Amino acid sequence: MSVDKAPRIAIDAMGGDGGPATIIAGAAQARDLDSGLRFILFGDAAAIRSELGRYPQIADSDVVHCDDVITGDDKPSQAIRRTRTSSMGAAILAVKNGEAIAALSAGNTGALMAIAKLSLRTMHGIDRPALAATMPTLGDQDVVMLDLGANTECDARNLVEFAVMGAAYSRLALGVECPRVRLLNIGTEEVKGTGELKDAAALLRQHNSSAWRFDGFVEADTIGRGDVDVVVSDGFSGNIALKSIEGTARFITDLLKRAFSSSLRSKAGFLLSRPAFALLRHHLDPNNHNGAVFLGLNGLVVKSHGGADAKGIANAIAVAAKIAREDLTRRITDDLEDFRSHAVPTEEDAA
């Protein structure tokens, strides 16, 4: 499939805490940074056009009115029934119908996953899609984490597929030539972990391709050190790890604010240290890493944080444009074929 160099991104303008005001401001910022982007905006047409009037640079965006909005309280089963009438569902259908190269929503994650999976279906050779995102580290590169909540229970096959998809995404999104892949576990020793983790590790050790390498297990407290490029887990453990990392970042930021406002001497110390803390704030700001990707679908869907600001939305749109232009789906297909062709045969296979 040829990829349009100026892709149209289908955007659920009603998703997220800020609604159309934040979404459209983010789209305008994205267009300022990438003049080739085009948008289809789904939702309340009157509200969308009111906001568009403030941003002439995206006045050429298409607007599709939708009467229905998927809320955070809607169950996935309820959302699926409103696929054609909701702004979220209509954005995904635009990808299915070839009207857009990728869809973006800041709405209900469970609903987005359910609609996307039912509408787009999983790729050939993939049992379940996974939600992947990048996180900052102390190293030279961010780390890709998946699954972050799409699948609460996973078997060894699912984890292996997540590893292959995560490595492909790491090479595309972060430019890592040969990603180091590890499974999230309660210890690095081979004897630790569930049966599914041990079986997945055994399967991954059979792979000897130069595209990526399996480095064993990783514990949650070492994810940010920078010595792993892709962390693989089931969605239950991955989501807990992600929320713990994000919560710790907020805790540190809030604690520093309290400490530096506790006295005149502390305030003076803050003024002297302001450049360093500005760098720390930038590094920990989730808006700078916004844009999680559903990997393994026959179509590209990006999930934004519900609380993202305009800068965060712009970053998520940039993620959508990048994976579309560089044809992430094809790369995953190629890597799956590579994995199977380079897997070391076992005695069971030979029998």
52: domain CATH number is: 3.40.718.10
- Closest Cα to residue 310, out of 42, 27, 14? 27
- Asked whether residue 87 is assigned to any structural domain, the reply reads yes
Residues of the chain with pLDDT under 70: 1-7, 260, 262, 265-286, 343-351
pLDDT at res. 351: 45
How many angstroms separate the CA atoms of 183 and 180, rounded? 10
Q: What pTM value is reported for the model? A: 0.85
Both 120 and 150 in one domain: the answer is no
Sheet of 38-43, strand order: 62-65, 38-43, 8-12, 102-105, 300-303, 292-295, 130-135, 143-146, 230-232, 180-184, 213-218
- Closest Cα to residue 23, out of 86, 73, 83, 88? 88
How many angstroms separate the CA atoms of 76 and 109, rounded? 9
Q: How many CB atoms lie within 10 A of CB 89?
A: 29
Both 79 and 180 in one domain: the answer is no
How many angstroms separate the CA atoms of 259 and 252, rounded? 10
How many angstroms separate the CA atoms of 16 and 27, rounded? 14
Q: The domain containing residue 171 runs over which residues?
A: 127-289
pLDDT at res. 348: 45
Both 132 and 55 in one domain: the answer is no
pLDDT at res. 343: 65
Of the CA atoms within 13 Å of residue 245, those in its CB half-sphere come to: 25
Separation in Å, CA 119 to CA 186, 226, 308: 36, 37, 26
- Asked whether residue 340 is assigned to any structural domain, the reply reads no
- Asked whether residue 349 is assigned to any structural domain, the reply reads no
pLDDT at res. 246: 78
Both 60 and 117 in one domain: the answer is yes
Both 58 and 114 in one domain: the answer is yes
